[in-house]
């Protein structure tokens, strides 16, 4: 029995140990080379602490590697590697199958730039938010009644009588807010690091389409509780289509299903609110396909960044970001469920009583402020929709040779002013209609459009001139 075990150990287990240790050792050496590269490229003061720790660890591992691989005859120990490696080999054979190989190539082995930060986790969190909204929405749709006489009562029935109905409703309502938070952060990250520049123009445009579909879905969902703010919000927003020449009134009547917001409007909005999330999911798959076609951008904005597999490095990073996201999300749902809502919407819809101050959800406030700041009705509607559609032009109006705002000092200043301007518009959108707020809204609206129409192309042109002039002087 001893001889058979020795034969098994020498011919089966020990070779697997050697292969396993060789793979680990080569990965360690590769990591050390990457650290040395970044030390030489970024660090002027010498070797970083992480690089020193890595070298110390490799110094401890090297004798073990030499004992098991280079001089195997002096090895008398047994490692769990001989047990784990067969499972690793079976997994590798398994992922070679057609369907699993697709996920392996686009998720596990997807080449990702080595220097991505947590700002790149917002896209992953947006996908998680979409899944949460679809799941909770399906549960709520089982108990909701799209009837003007029963809609408000069915929401209260969900809150009071359905098991954990309150949790699903608050998760769905606050999930929309969390969805827009991570999507706005995702867009701002793209603007800062130049993720819209060639060759990723179509990737950016597909993201703007997703944003438009999200807004349509969120607006229709806000109408479904059939409270005061839901009813009058639907009335105000849908009447904006009447400014379209010749066919505007007919479009409004088609949206309403009559001559006013009524039961037909509610049923149509409920149907579209149910269908559009799956359309968004389809565009998300297109967005991911375009991303994997052109590859991810990176904080340096270079195309030749060193790549590492998505799994396990960025998988674990995204999981950490997910836990932080869920912590904030659960705190909002369980402790402040109505913080981002409006108390007037807890009053049943009444077509005979107009609320004193009609405001949309917070994620629509910047565009609502733009609408109110323009004195002309047609001009206000055009500017409101134009403030979103103008995002399509960004990839084609930036003339800078540099992507990342880290290396664009002029654009960086304009960008952070734009971020402050966006939050200013959000604050103005919830304030009452007074002359001081209207005037401030006009200034903020002017900068919003100046940033996209004038500052992005001009700053890019100036920075390109300065860069080419510096290169010519060096030559």
Catalytic residues, by residue number, are 292, 296, 317-318, 361
Q: What is the DSSP string of 280-294?
A: HHHHHHHHHHHHHHH
Local structure of 18: helix, strand or coil: helix
Whether 182 and 125 have beta carbons less than 8 Å apart is answered as yes
Q: E strand or H helix at 87, and its extent?
A: helix 81-94
Sign of CA dihedral 206, 208, 214, 217: negative
Q: How many CB atoms lie within 10 A of CB 393?
A: 16
Structure tokens at 55: 């070298």
Measured between alpha carbons, how far is 20 from 65 in angstroms, rounded to an integer? 10
Measured between alpha carbons, how far is 434 from 440 in angstroms, rounded to an integer? 10
| Nearest by Cα to 424 from 441, 438, 436 | 441
Whether 204 and 195 have beta carbons less than 8 Å apart is answered as yes
Q: In 9-157, at which residue ranges do the beta strands (DSSP E only) sit?
A: 111-113
**Is the preceding omega at residue 104 within 30 degrees of 0, hence cis?**
no
Measured between alpha carbons, how far is 230 from 344 in angstroms, rounded to an integer? 9
Q: In 289-370, at which residue ranges do the beta strands (DSSP E only) sit?
A: 307-309
Greatest alpha-carbon pair distance for the chain in Å reads: 95
Rg (CA), the chain: 29
Q: What is the DSSP string of 111-135?
A: EEETT--GGGGHHHHHHHHHHHHHH
Q: What is the DSSP string of 191-236?
A: HHHTTTSTT-HHHHHHHHHHHHHHHHHHHHHHHTT-BHHHHHHHHH
């Amino acid at each position: 029995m001893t001889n058979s075990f020795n034969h098994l150990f020498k011919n089966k287990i020990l070779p697997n140990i050697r292969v396993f240790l060789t793979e680990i050792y080569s990965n360690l050496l590769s990591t050390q080379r990457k650290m040395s590269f970044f030390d030489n490229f970024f660090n002027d003061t010498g070797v970083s602490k992480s690089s020193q720790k890595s070298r110390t660890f490799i110094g401890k591992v090297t004798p073990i590697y030499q004992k098991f691989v280079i001089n195997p005859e002096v090895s008398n120990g047994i490692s769990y590697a001989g047990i784990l490696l067969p499972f690793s080999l079976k997994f590798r054979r398994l992922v070679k199958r057609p369907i699993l190989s697709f996920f392996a190539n686009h998720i596990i082995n997807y080449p990702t730039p080595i220097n991505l930060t947590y700002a790149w986790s917002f896209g992953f969190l947006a996908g998680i938010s979409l899944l949460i909204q679809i799941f909770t929405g399906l549960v709520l749709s089982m108990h909701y009644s799209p009837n003007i006489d029963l809609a408000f009562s069915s929401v209260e029935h969900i809150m009071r009588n359905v098991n954990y109905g309150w949790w699903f409703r608050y998760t769905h309502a606050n999930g929309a807010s969390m969805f827009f938070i991570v999507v706005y952060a995702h867009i701002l990250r793209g603007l800062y690091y130049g993720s819209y520049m060639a060759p990723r123009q179509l990737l950016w445009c597909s993201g703007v389409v997703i944003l438009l579909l999200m807004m349509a879905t969120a607006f229709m969902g806000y109408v479904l509780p059939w409270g005061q703010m839901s009813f009058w919000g639907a009335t105000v927003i849908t009447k904006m289509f009447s400014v379209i020449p010749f066919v505007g009134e007919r479009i409004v009547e088609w949206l309403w299903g009559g001559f006013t917001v009524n039961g037909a409007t509610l049923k149509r909005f409920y149907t579209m609110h149910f269908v559009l999330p799956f359309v968004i999911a389809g565009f998300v798959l297109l967005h991911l396909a375009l991303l994997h076609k052109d590859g991810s951008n990176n904080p340096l904005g270079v195309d030749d960044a060193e790549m590492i597999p998505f799994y396990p490095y960025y998988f674990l990073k995204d999981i950490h970001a997910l836990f932080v996201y869920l912590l904030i999300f659960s705190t909002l749902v369980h402790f402040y469920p109505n913080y981002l809502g409006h108390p007037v919407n807890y009053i049943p819809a009444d077509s005979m009583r107009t609320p004193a101050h009609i405001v949309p959800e917070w994620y629509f406030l910047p565009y609502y402020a733009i609408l109110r700041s323009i004195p002309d009705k047609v001009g206000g509607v055009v500017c409101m929709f134009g403030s979103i559609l103008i995002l399509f032009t960004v990839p084609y109006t930036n003339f800078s040779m540099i992507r990342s705002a880290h290396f664009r000092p002029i654009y960086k200043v304009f960008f952070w002013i734009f971020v402050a301007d966006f939050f200013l518009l959000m604050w103005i959108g919830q304030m009452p209609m007074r002359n001081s707020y209207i005037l401030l809204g006009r200034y903020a609206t002017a900068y919003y459009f100046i940033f996209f129409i004038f500052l992005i192309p001009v700053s890019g042109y100036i920075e390109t001139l300065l860069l080419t002039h510096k290169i010519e002087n060096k030559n």
